[in-house]
Amino acid sequence: MHEHITEVYYIISGTGTLFTGGEVINARPTPADSEIVKVAVGPSNQGTFKTPAQKRKVGPGDVVIIPPGVYHGFDDVTTRIDYLAVRPDPNHVLPAGYVHPAIKK
């Protein structure tokens, strides 16, 4: 669950079940010094789903929008899932000018 960042996933390949919302147990903050918090999604919490509000099969071509504050995760991944993630940051929570190392030249 990311406190400030919306995530948009475009599934390129693979299939799985996406859990969103619901009841989460053992919720705890993701360490503030972790790279995922510092450069990708900002302040976040992690935990274990007790009861997800929604479960949906996702596959190539699917687009999913996950608003801030919604716990989410994948399960039943039969093959690797490749997806494009878009993370709008209108409140400038993340550092300006960040470019993911996979596309940096």
Q: Which residues of 67-101 are buried (b: 16+ CB within 10 A; e: fewer)?
A: ebebbbbeeeeeeebebeeebeeeeebbeeeeeee
Does residue 102 have a pLDDT over 80?
Answer: no
Q: Is the pTM of this model over 0.85?
A: no
Q: Residue 7 corresponds to which tokens in the numbers above?
A: 């995530």
Across the strands, what pairs with 63? Answer: 10
**Mean pLDDT of the region 55-61:** 95
Counting residues of the chain whose pLDDT is more than 90, the rounded percentage is 52
Counting residues of the chain whose pLDDT is more than 70, the rounded percentage is 98
- Res 20: pLDDT: 92
